[in-house]
């Protein structure tokens, strides 16, 4: 019965209302695809980073820069690996020497900063779409509702009937658009906020890892000079 009612509701909708529902359906499909793709990306980044961090720390303790870079390229989904590998490439030429020039350290800092910025933008991919859908879907639904109510009252005037019964069906059809708009918007807003918090955490981790890498080479340089 419920399915039949939905079919009848769809058939009774006007062209504009149907267009609104179709637009909202496309927005919903897009937001769901972004949610799934981002969730898998962040999950894989977290998982690989947990494996990469202790392994690269052991390589650096032994001074094995080439192995650390190879390890970073192996865990290429890790946000930490993507950042640290860029800095390690700058230091690779001086991996065997005890003294690391100051300009090389500065170049490594800049490389780490660039890699962090690029990685942050990559982690944000698709989130602007979620934010747009979350903020506009209710208004798209409200537009469909407004058109539906106008049509309901226009039909009541044409038929020259009065009372709530004359417009109840039309208003119910119109409100479907608003309900659908909220149904699309709420999950998009929730997931946007969740993903934004994850990116902030990833950013802190990348900044800390970059600082620790530079501190490691500064300490090594000061020890050799001392």
pLDDT tens, residue order, the chain (226 aa): 344 466 766 666 777 778 888 999 999 999 999 999 999 999 999 999 999 999 988 888 887 888 888 898 899 899 999 998 888 887 776 555 555 666 677 778 888 889 999 999 999 999 999 999 999 999 999 988 888 788 777 766 665 555 555 566 667 777 888 889 999 999 999 999 999 999 999 999 999 988 888 887 777 666 555 5
CB 59 within 8 A of CB 81: no
Distance, CA of 80 to CA of 92 (rounded, Å): 18
Distance, CA of 38 to CA of 23 (rounded, Å): 23
Tokens of 36: 């799934």
- Residue 2: per-residue pLDDT: 43
DSSP 8-class letter at 163: S
DSSP 8-class letter at 100: -
Cα dihedral 17, 23, 26, 30 in deg (nearest 10): -140
């Amino acid at each position: 019965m419920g399915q039949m009612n939905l079919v009848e509701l769809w058939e009774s909708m006007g062209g504009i209302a149907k267009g609104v529902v179709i637009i909202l359906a496309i927005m919903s499909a897009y937001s769901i695809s972004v949610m799934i793709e981002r969730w898998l990306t962040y999950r894989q980044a977290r998982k690989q980073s947990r494996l990469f961090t202790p392994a690269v720390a052991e390589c650096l303790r032994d001074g094995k820069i080439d192995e650390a870079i190879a390890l970073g390229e192996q865990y290429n989904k890790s946000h930490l690996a993507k950042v640290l590998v860029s800095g390690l490439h700058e230091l690779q030429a001086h991996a065997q020497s005890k003294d690391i020039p100051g300009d090389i350290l500065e170049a490594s800092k800049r490389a780490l900063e660039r890699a962090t910025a690029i990685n942050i933008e990559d982690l944000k991919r698709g989130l602007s779409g979620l934010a747009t859908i979350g903020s506009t879907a209710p208004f798209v639904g409200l537009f469909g509702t407004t058109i539906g109510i106008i049509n309901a009252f226009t039909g009541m005037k044409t038929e020259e009937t009065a009372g709530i019964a004359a417009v109840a069906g039309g208003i119910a059809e119109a409100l479907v658009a608003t309900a659908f708009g909220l149904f699309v918007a709420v999950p998009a807003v929730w997931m946007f906020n969740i993903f934004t918090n994850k990116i902030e955490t990833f950013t802190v981790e990348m900044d800390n890892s970059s600082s620790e890498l530079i501190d490691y080479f500064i300490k090594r340089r000061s020890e050799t000079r001392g």
